[in-house]
Amino acid sequence: MAGLVLGVESVPDGLASGLLAGVNPVAGLYAYLFGVAGGALFTSTAFMAIQGTGAMAIIIADVDLESRGDPARALFTLSILTGAVMIVAGLLRLGSFLRFVSNSVMTGFITAVGFNIVLGQLNDFTGYTASGDNRVIRALNLLLNFWKIDLATITVGIVTIVLIVVLQRTQLGSLGLVVAIIAGSMLAAIFNAFDGGIALVRDIANVPNGLPIPKLPVLGDLPFLILPALSLAFVGLVQGAGVSAGFPNEDGAPADVSQDFVGQGAGNVIAGLFQGIPVGGSMSASSLVTAAGAKTRAAMLYAGVTMAVVILLFGAAVEFVAMPALAGLLIVIGVGTVKPSRVISVAKTGLVPLTVMTITLVLTMVIPLQYSVLVGVGISVILFVVQQSTRLVTKRMVFHDDGTVEEVEPPKDLPAHEVVVLQPYGAIFFATAPTLLEQIPAVTSTSRHSVVILRVRGIDDAGVTLIDVLQRYAVKLREVDSKLMIVTDNQRVIRQLRVTGATDAIGSDNVYSGTAFVGATVRRAYDDAVTWIEQHRLADGTDDEAGTTVQEVAHDEQD
In 3D space, the residue among 273, 85, 324, 292 whose CA is nearest the CA of residue 174 turns out to be 292
Residue 291 pLDDT greater than 50, yes or no: yes
At 4-22, the pLDDT tens digits run: 878 877 888 888 888 888 8
List the beta bridge partners of residue 399.
Answer: 405
Is residue 200 helix, strand or coil? strand
Residues whose CB falls within 8 Å of the CB of residue 406, separated by 6 or more in sequence, listed in order: 397, 398, 400, 554
H or E segment to which residue 455 belongs: strand 451-455
What are the phi and psi torsion angles at 283 (to 5°)? -65, -45
At 347-394, the pLDDT tens digits run: 888 877 888 888 888 888 887 766 776 677 777 777 777 776 667 889
In 3D space, the residue among 307, 322, 245 whose CA is nearest the CA of residue 276 turns out to be 307
Torsion of the alpha carbons at 345, 346, 351 and 354, rounded to the nearest 10: -130
Mean pLDDT of the chain: 84
Residue 476 has a pLDDT of: 93
How many Å apart are CA 68 and CA 111, to the nearest integer?
31
How many Å apart are CA 528 and CA 540, to the nearest integer?
18
In 3D space, the residue among 206, 261, 271, 273 whose CA is nearest the CA of residue 237 turns out to be 261
**Residues 58 and 116 sit within 8 Å (Cβ to Cβ):** yes
**What are the DSSP E strand ranges found in 247-389?**
280-282
Mean per-residue pLDDT, 196-205: 81
Mean per-residue pLDDT, 519-527: 91
At 149-199, the pLDDT tens digits run: 989 999 999 999 999 889 888 888 767 878 888 899 999 999 988 887 888
Fold of 393-558: Transcription Regulator spoIIAA (3.30.750)
Residue 238 has a pLDDT of: 78
Residue 552 has a pLDDT of: 44
In 3D space, the residue among 63, 67, 54 whose CA is nearest the CA of residue 28 turns out to be 54
H or E segment to which residue 71 belongs: helix 71-91
Quick one: how far is CA 39 from the chain centroid?
Answer: 21
Outline where 92-218 has alpha helix (H). 103-120, 122-126, 135-144, 151-167, 175-193
Where along the chain do the CATH 3.30.750.24 domains lie? Answer: 393-558
How many Å apart are CA 234 and CA 246, to the nearest integer?
19
Is residue 442 helix, strand or coil? strand
**Residues 73 and 248 sit within 8 Å (Cβ to Cβ):** no
**Residues 372 and 62 sit within 8 Å (Cβ to Cβ):** no
Residue 81 pLDDT greater than 50, yes or no: yes
Q: Are strands 451-455 and 419-425 parallel, antiparallel or unpaired?
A: parallel
Angle of helix 298-318 relative to helix 283-291, nearest 10 degrees, comes to: 110
Residues whose CB falls within 8 Å of the CB of residue 143, separated by 6 or more in sequence, listed in order: none
Look at phi and psi of residue 405 and say left if phi exceeds 0, alpha if psi is from -120 to 50, else beta.
Answer: beta
Residue 361 has a pLDDT of: 87
At 321-353, the pLDDT tens digits run: 888 988 888 788 788 878 898 899 988 888 778
HEC letters along 489-527: CCHHHHHHHHHCCHHHHHCHHHEEECCCCCCHHHHHHHH
Residue 114 has a pLDDT of: 82
What confidence tier does 456 reach under pLDDT thresholds 50, 70, 90? confident
The reported pTM is 0.66
Residue 460 has a pLDDT of: 65
Residue 263 has a pLDDT of: 92
- Could you tell me how many residues make up the chain? 559
CB count within 10 Å of CB 146 equals 9
How many Å apart are CA 3 and CA 161, to the nearest integer?
25
How many Å apart are CA 494 and CA 513, to the nearest integer?
8
Residue 534 pLDDT greater than 70, yes or no: yes
Angle ∠(5,10,12) on CA atoms, nearest 5: 120
